Amino acid sequence: MTDKPSYSDWQAKADKEVKGRDLTWHTLEGFDVKPLYTAEDTKDIDPGLPGFEPFTRGPYASMYTGRPWTIRQYAGFSTAEESNAFYRRNLAAGQKGLSVAFDLATHRGYDSDHPRVVGDVGKAGVAIDTVADMQILFDQIPLDTMSVSMTMNGAVIPVLAFYIVAAERSGVSQDKLSGTIQNDILKEFMVRNTYIYPPEPSMRIVSDIIAYTSDHMPRFNSISISGYHMHEAGATAVQELAFTIADGKEYAQRAMDTGLDIDAFAPRLSFFWGIGMNFFMEIAKMRAARALWHDVMEDLGAQNPKSKMLRTHCQTSGVSLQEQDPYNNVIRTTIEAMAAVLGGTQSLHTNALDEAIALPTDFSARIARNTQLVLEEETGITNVADPLGGSYYVEALTAKLVEEAKTIIEEVDAAGGMTQYVASGEPKRRIEQAAAEKQTNVDRGETVIVGVNKYRRETEDEIETLDIDNHKVRQSQIARLEKVRSQRDEMACQAALDALARGAAQKEGNLLALAVEAARHDATLGEISSAMEDVFGRYDTKPTPVKGVYSKAYAEDNRYQQVVQGVDAVEQRLGRKPKIMIAKMGQDGHDRGANVIASAFADMGFDVVSGPLFQTPQETLEMALAEGVDAIGASSLAAGHKTLIPELIRLLKDAGRADIKVTAGGVIPQSDYQFLRDAGVQGIYGPGSNVIECAADMLRLLGHNMPPADDEVEEAAE
């Protein structure tokens, strides 16, 4: 009988087969992933059993063998009427719960008639201005039995108040309501930026909602602590884990500081993760999250096992979806959905194939929903609890993620907690650094994206996209606003708003309770938000993109050096560096793309001005003129490009500065390209664009004879 082969025996054989090539995979997390894992890698690891502490293998013993995960679709667009019809069609087709997407005007606390939201109403979610809108949104949907998830943070107080009052008016008391409100404001200061108030009053809002729901809404989750938006902003798995768990710890601590018993509210806390294409890393991330949360809650003194049990919703990645060869997105979403399920999610939203460029159509939403139904009904995945438990690789990866995330959490604790750590700007800086590094890997072809930087098709399939008539939606919302205001008891409404303002100023009373009373008197979302804004102020930040990522990654790249030399040539001609402004107009706070462009262009030698978030076209014009820029790169991720960018170009012409070049980048459907060109846009860079080629194209627009790349990315390919 021969001895059992060892790892070194395997390694010797593998080395011979690959001629000594190093098979170690160096991940973006900084992990050195071996090409083989054995029992030796897990000899000191005991993941336990599903349903038992520390819950690494799942929060429930039976997992999907008893009940499958909840199938959700994140949806909302245009008017409440349109969204309601979409919800009802989806529910009839097998969807089990609702997940509501609000438009950016709503997120930022503005009524639809506010001048700052002209291009945002109804575009990236549903417009909600009043309780009447919320009633229409849930018309014929039984709120006493339907679980409702609402992605809302900035305007969380009026939106949750409207939901409570709309349910009351349909005959459903608030104690019967089930679902989740996101209410995760710390993450907004890091990545998504749909905040309204400064950090400290925002944290008071979070605490007040936890307290109110604990007293009045026992079936409702008061907060969904979100790593998803960090994931989409470019965070590594370790960063997403550490910062999200640290956010949860901060919320729990703040609630306890108000006198709440941890076991009274902790069982209603939930989490939300983004699921990307690194299949096993995403599975391990979810298992690690449960172990980390268990330990955090034990440290905070939780006694009830349900307080230490991390329950989660997941959503497949939006940033992994591509405009090029878009039907590949069905494959990507399926792989990500499998990772979420094998990681043990409690509910799941699958993105649609067209969401790289637009809101989903009924056709694409059906495919996304059926992806989950096929996984649930046809694969056998639901027949075994934690089927990957015991995998040498998965268990070792889980343990590594726990270890690395704990190191960052300790740094956060040393800084005084997550509120202070967020205020320092460090988590935002780290995530932006990771995002820039990811983009360089894609641009250099080190990270392969099929159909984008490898196996590119000569011509792309045109797919039907959903287009929202923003002007029509806004006029409809304004008409309803005027009707509600004309029919309400104005004195009673104003008295309720005054009481809310006093409660905010005097730090007395529960803000959600006061807002519910205002909603009962038909106060609008903007009025409730303003009552608090008058006391708290409106928070604002200016982007500070990271430096040096591109220059380091491309130090030996010939094409990069061509661009750098081109910038030098333009500088010699102008007597100064070519100056570009990166503009974020409208109420969209997603700034990953804008920050990556600003970072890369600065590294290549451009003088880059990063405009503040949430500018109007007029404010962008004024800043561009004051800074003396040569070009404006307008970043659009929320479908406002057809309104806001043409308006900027008109204002430039009126100011006698049509010479300032305007380009557009971001999530822009191919079908909109000609519209933008006709409006005067001189370069369009959609999803998947190579950043170096964007810079080369900018040099051409500035009059430099930039040579083409050997394998040049077509203009408007990104």
**Helix or strand run (H / E) with residue 691:** helix 691-701
What letter would DSSP give residue 311? -
pLDDT in tens, 120-179: 888 778 999 999 999 999 999 989 988 898 989 999 999 999 999 999 999 999 999 999
Which amino acid is it at 485? R
Sheet of strand 70-75: strand arrangement: 220-221, 179-181, 148-150, 97-100, 70-75, 347-349, 312-316, 269-275, 223-226
- Closest residue by Cα to residue 217 from 272, 265, 255, 259: 265
Per-residue pLDDT averaged across 220-236, rounded? Answer: 92
Lowest mean pLDDT among 213-217, 284-288, 380-384, 706-710: 706-710
Count of CB atoms situated within 10 Å of the CB of 325: 17
| Cβ contacts of 410 within 8 Å, gap of 6 or more | none
Nearest to 127 by CA among 140, 113, 142, 143: 113
Other C-beta atoms closer than 10 Å to the C-beta of 565 total: 15
pLDDT at 367 over 90: yes
Answer whether residue 649 shows pLDDT above 90. Answer: yes
pLDDT value, residue 715: 37
Give the other-Cβ count within 10 Å of 403's Cβ. Answer: 11
Residues 50-82 pLDDT 10s: 999 999 999 999 999 999 998 887 665 667 888
Indicate the burial class of 637 (C-beta count within 10 angstroms; 0-12, 13-18, 19 or more): buried
**Phi, psi of 547, deg, nearest 5:** -125, 150
Q: Counting beta carbons within 10 angstroms of the beta carbon of residue 193, is it exposed (0 to 12), middle (13 to 18) or buried (19 or more)?
A: buried
580 bridge partner residues: 608, 631
Contact at 8 Å (CB) between 308 and 21? Answer: no
Closest Cα partner for 358 from 234, 463, 439, 232?
463
In this prediction, residues 383-409 reach a mean pLDDT of: 97
Cα 412 vs. chain centroid, distance in angstroms?
Answer: 22
Give the C-alpha separation, 5 to 7, whole Å: 7
What is the number of H-type helices and E-type strands within the chain? 27, 16
Which residues are the active-site residues?
74, 228-229, 584, 588, 590
**CA 668 from chain center: how many Å?**
18
Q: What are phi and psi of 344, to 5 degrees?
A: 95, 35
Strands 223-226 and 269-275: parallel
| pLDDT tens sequence across 102-111 | 988 999 999 9
What confidence category does residue 483 fall into, taking pLDDT thresholds of 50, 70 and 90? Answer: very high
**How many Å apart are CA 127 and CA 69, to the nearest integer?**
29
CA-based nearest residue to 270, from 180, 145, 151 = 180
d(CA 561, CA 551): 10
179, 186, 226, 511, 544 from 204: Cα distances, Å:
22, 12, 18, 9, 27
Q: What is the mean pLDDT of residues 587-615?
A: 89
